[in-house]
Structure 1
Amino acid sequence: MIMKKVLNGLRSFYQLGLKQHGLALAICTGIGVTCLGSTTVEAATRNINPPALKAGAPNVYIVKKGDTLWDISGKFLKKPWRWPEIWASNKHVKNPHWIYPGDRLLLCTLDGRPLVGRDQGDGCEGIIRRYTGRTTLQPQVRIEQLNNIIPVIPLDHIQQWLERATIVSAENIKAAPYILGTTDQRVLAAKGQQVYVRGQGLQNAQRYAVYREGEPYTTLDEHGKKRIIGIELLQVASGIATQSENDITTMELTQSFNSEVRRGDLVLPEEQAMLPTLFYPTEAHQVMEGGKIIRVMGSISTAGKHSVVTLNRGTTQGTQVGQVFDIYQQGEVVKDPKTQENIKLPNQNIGSLMIFKTFDELSYAYILESSLPVKVGAEIKPPREED
């Protein structure tokens, strides 16, 4: 019962899905509705003006291995997050939203708006005809390996935090099973060794993850007192339960991740994280104001392009996987040379980020662009509509 309670408590922090090494672009329509896994969300339809093309946008682009959807979008648009508005999804082809290396993308125009689609040998005329439904072509099947799909962002940049990190409430791990010791009486253990786990609910032949507690995330409540809003857990190993006696379970470690297992480490059900499948702009009303970067993962205080950061906004405040935000650095306080007053300069837009994993009150995000070093305390806001 205790293990079931822990698992139920964790489900709100995970999004289940296939752990594959390709991130599929899932666009159900060019402008209308988009899909994130099994979740349906509204796409960016707020913009009346067509997305502005980037200077020197190519009329033809051949997709290469190593490309990402964000990079491809940036070749065509000043605002890459508006990509869903210009992608010509072909409803007559199975998985029309997927892009692969070798695909020939054409920049076309439909009713004065830019439109990008995959060339099937009939140029822009064919792309527009299929996009608008003015075709009688039969459905086609394209056979490709899933790991060839062009990713939204590079998986290796976020894999550690996507697959081997989570944030839970202190309440949810109070009764979690923990490492009691090793079978050979060593203090540390790694892949290939056996450990003893104390706690209820573990089942033989089931896989479990071993987590180490990190620095808790805190905030101040209405009375000015510090409140823990989440505890970060980093996976250090995984293993299989082999036998149980009373509340002691023997577990064989099958994998280690950059650290050895210690006494006191937590043992929880191994979950599979859902990879982000699409980026899209955030409406101002969707997420509660006041969002900030509160931690830079793997660094003390400064982040840059390709860094992973933690935001003080989670599903409770309206965040969703795939949302894109602008980053605003806090303006400096300078002394007016004439009045000698201390004046705070305006906050500066220095980049953008995308949320790739959400929890109750916190989220992990990936910095897509940054013109200056990003510091803890930087604000996040919905992208500006102006191009």
Structure 2
Amino acid sequence: MKKVFKGTSFFRALGFKKQILTFVIYFSVGLGLISITTAAPIRNQSPPTLKANAPNVYVVKKGDTLWAIAKKFLNNPLRWPEIWASNRYIKNPHWIFPGDRLLMCTYQGRPIIGKDEGDGCDGVIRRYSGNKSQVLYPQVRIESLNNAIPIIPLEDIKQWLDRSFILPPDSLNNTPYIVGMADERVIAGAGQNVYARGLGLVIGQRYGIYAEGQPYILLDEQGNKVNAGLELTQVASGIAIQSKQDITTLEITHSYHQEIRKGYRVLPEHEVLYPTMFYPVYAEDVSLEGKVIRIHDSIGAAAKRSIVSIDRGHLEGVKVGQVFTVNQRGQITTDPKTHKKIQLPTEVIGEIMIIQTFDHISYAYVLESQLPIRVNATLTPPIIQD
């Protein structure tokens, strides 16, 4: 339980719910460094190919996402980390904000894109390469962190990061649960009191109230069914205001489009980090082959901007931000000449990005979809060509 709930949400701590200003300070070498960020290793030796209509200058607008910006420049947006000219002398160099001017430059024969700090491509290259030949004077930039451009639309993934998560099935043993509502109601909502039974609830502390979803039943290596996790969805928040023996009264402060019912679990509110960069997964990084095992908020198929669950988690090497190719196995058909059964080729039908990982399961966001993505679609590392 501690592993799941310990820690503070990135956006909640740094301004997702509150307007907290951050100072992004650019230091010269002589003044000291906040942090040094090195470029990720490049597996593909050929430089990324730019779109024919890629802009030389792009001014970031409110509502942009990093994925959409990458698609403006590159034939394959997955290769954005290879061309992004990180400023080695600032913290969080991948953050960009509305109003930033992005310049397309050339460094050692390869295209790079970086922020214009008033000194053009010369400055972009100098900060990216770590050239110490010129003194850099400190600059102070004040930004609200919740204005930073997200990599994908936050409204598409917020519910699945803030309100849903997956726990091992035995981790819910002995956790508190709702046993009743004030005024003998059958269901309850914001502004009402509910009663939870169980030990460990602290007066004055905020808790989440969670509905249990369907378990994830997978097959192990021997073909036996195993419960890989239980999905919980937060339906409300409340504060513990009174306790007597093992019954605690909770005052409901927020409800999230669902009523509270008996049996729902009471747990510390789930908080996670939001993804801040995307990058392709490589074959040696994760145990493959994985597959899509659940489609969320859809009758039977996922499309662009949908959320899916896959049968690989952090114990198999999956990490937030990794991008997988989604494949559809070719159908089995009958050859009209030989009358024998044949299987048609597997087709690439989309790409997904991991947004949250659990032990053996992960949530993923559909970045691109050429055809509907269905349960049992297979996952492979993307082919990096362009």
Q: TM-score, normalised by structure 2?
A: 0.90
**What amino acid is aligned across from residue 254 of structure 2 in structure 1?**
Q
Distance 1:8 1:21 in 2: 23
- Aligned-residue Cα RMSD (Å) equals 2.0
Asked whether the 8 Å contact 2:5–2:271 carries over to 1, the reply is: no
Letter of the 2:65 partner, please give it: T
| Stretch of structure 1 that moved more, 224-233 or 189-198 | 224-233
> Equivalent residues in 2 for 1:303-318 (5 A)?
303-318=302-317
Q: Relative contact order (alpha carbons < 8 A, sep ≥ 6): 1 or 2 greater?
A: 1
Amino acid at match of 2:2: N
Spell out, residue by residue over 1:210-233, the C-alpha distance to the aligned partner (whole angstroms, 9 max, x if none). Answer: 000111110123443321111111
**3-state SS, counterpart of residue 113 of structure 2:** strand
The 3-state SS of whatever aligns with 1:120 is coil
In the TM superposition, 1:31-42 aligns within 5 A as: none
- Paired position in structure 1 for 2:362: 363
Q: What is the correspondence of 1:282-321 to structure 2 with a 5 Å cutoff?
A: 282-321=281-320
For the residue of structure 1 that corresponds to 2:319, the secondary structure is coil
Kindly indicate whether the alpha-carbon contact (under 8 Å) linking 1:92 and 1:140 is maintained by their aligned counterparts in 2.
no
Q: Secondary structure at the match of 1:214?
A: strand
Aligned equivalent of 1:231 = 230
Unaligned runs of 5+ in 1: 1-6, 23-37
Q: Does 1:18 align with 2:15?
A: no
* 268-277 vs 209-218, which moves further: 268-277
The 10-residue stretch of structure 1 (354-363 or 86-95) with the greater mean CA deviation from structure 2: 86-95
User: Does structure 2 conserve the Cα–Cα contact (< 8 Å) formed by 1:94 and 1:141?
Assistant: no
CA distance in 2, matches of 1:9, 1:105: 39
> In the alignment, what sits opposite 1:202?
201
- 1:324-343 aligned within 5 A: 324-343=323-342
Q: CA shift at 1:138, angstroms?
A: 1.9
Q: Distance in 1 between matches of 2:149 and 2:39?
A: 23
SS at match of 1:262: coil
Choose 135-144 or 364-373, whichever is displaced more.
135-144
Distance 2:67 2:8 in 1: 22
1:131-170 Cα deviation digits (max 9, x unpaired): 2222311232111111211111111001111100011111
Aligned to 1:27: none
Corresponding position of 1:8:
2
Q: 1:74 to 1:164 in 2, by over 3 A?
A: same
**1-side partners of 2:272 and 2:250: how far apart?**
23
Report the counterpart of residue 23 of structure 2 in structure 1: none
Q: Which residue of 1 aligns with 2:71?
A: 74
Structure 1 window deviating more from structure 2 (60-69 vs 41-50): it is: 41-50
Q: CA deviation at 1:191?
A: 0.4
| Contact kept? 1:18, 1:272, Cα under 8 Å | no
Aligned residue in 2 for 1:264: 263
Question: In the alignment, is the contact (CA less than 8 A) between 1:93 and 1:139 conserved in 2?
Answer: no
Uncovered stretches (5+) of structure 2, i.e. residues with no partner: 18-34
Please report how far the alpha carbon of residue 130 of structure 1 lies from its aligned counterpart in structure 2 after TM superposition.
2.1
2-side partners of 1:326 and 1:41: how far apart? 26
Partners of 2:119 and 2:41 lie apart in 1 by 29
Query: Counterpart amino acid of 2:85?
Result: A
In structure 2, distance between residues paired with 1:155 and 1:85: 24
Once the two structures are TM-superposed, the CA of residue 10 in structure 1 deviates from its matched residue by 3.4
Structure 1 partner of 2:55: 58
The residue that corresponds to 1:109 in the other structure is 106
SS in 1 for 2:126: helix
Is the contact between residue 356 and residue 364 of structure 1 (CA under 8 Å) also seen in structure 2? yes
CA offsets 1:4-35 (integer angstroms, 9 cap, x no match):
xxx336349x885333549xxxxxxxxxxxxx
Conserved 8 A contact 2:39-2:82? no
Q: How does 1:240-279 map to 2 (within 5 A)?
A: 240-279=239-278
SS in 2 for 1:303: coil
**Secondary structure of 1:101 counterpart:** coil
- Is this contact kept in 2: 1:355–1:365, CA < 8 A? yes
Q: Which of 131-140 and 295-304 deviates more?
A: 131-140
Structure 2 residue aligned with 1:149: 148
Q: Give 3-state SS (helix, strand or coil) of 1:161's partner.
A: helix
1:252 CA displacement: 0.5
Shift in CA distance, 78/147, structure 1 to aligned 2, threshold 3 Å: same
- CA-CA distance at 1:265 after TM superposition: 0.5
Residues 72-111 of structure 1 deviation map (CA, whole Å, 9 limit, x = unaligned): 1111112212111111112345654321111111111111
The structure-2 alpha-carbon separation of the partners of 1:109 and 1:273, relative to structure 1 and needing over 3 Å to count, comes to same
Q: Which amino acid counterpart does residue 256 of structure 2 have in structure 1?
A: F
Question: Matches of 1:80 and 1:222 in 2, distance apart?
Answer: 36
Give the AA of the match of 1:55: A
One-letter amino acid matched to 1:327: V
Instruction: State the distance in 1 between where 2:11 and 2:261 align.
Output: 29
Q: TM-score, normalised by structure 1?
A: 0.90
1:178-213 Cα deviation digits (max 9, x unpaired): 001012110100001001100011110011100001
CA contact (8 A) 1:44 1:84 kept: no
The alignment of Structure 1 onto Structure 2 pairs a total of residues equal to 364
The 8 Å contact of residues 50 and 113 in structure 1, kept in 2 or not, is answered as yes
Superposition pairs of residues 369-384 of structure 1, within 5 angstroms? 369-384=368-383
In structure 1, the residue matched to 2:29 is none
CA distance in structure 2 between the partners assigned to 1:373 and 1:41 by the alignment: 38
1:101/1:222 Cα in 2 relative to 1: closer, same or farther (>3 Å)? closer
Give 1:41 shift.
Answer: 11
Q: Which amino acid aligns with 2:10?
A: G
- Structure 1's consecutive aligned runs of 4 or more residues displaced over 4 angstroms after TM superposition are none
SS at structure 1 position matched to 2:142: coil
